[in-house]
Amino acid sequence: MTIPKRFPRALDKARLNLSRTIIRAPIDGIVSQRKVQVGQTVQPGQSLMTVTPIAQAYVDANFKEGQLAEVRPGQRVTLTSDLYGSDVVFHGKVNGMGGGTGSAFAIIPAQNATGNWIKVVQRVPVRIALDPKELAAHPLRVGLSMTATIDTRE
How much is the pLDDT for 116? 64
Q: Residue 127 above 70 pLDDT?
A: yes
Domain with CATH 2.40.30.170 in the chain: 54-108+120-150
User: Domain 54-108+120-150 maps to which CATH number in 3.30.1540.20, 2.130.10.10, 2.40.50.100, 2.40.30.170?
Assistant: 2.40.30.170
| Termini Cα distance of the chain | 81
Q: Model-level pTM?
A: 0.69
How much is the pLDDT for 74? 94
Q: Which of 4-18, 107-121, 138-152 has the lowest average pLDDT? A: 107-121
Query: For the segment 29-66, what is each residue's pLDDT rounded down to a tens digit?
Result: 888 888 999 888 888 888 888 888 877 888 999 998 88
Q: Count how many residues are written for the chain.
A: 154
Can you tell me the distance from the alpha carbon of 35 to that of 50, in angstroms, rounded to the nearest whole number? 8
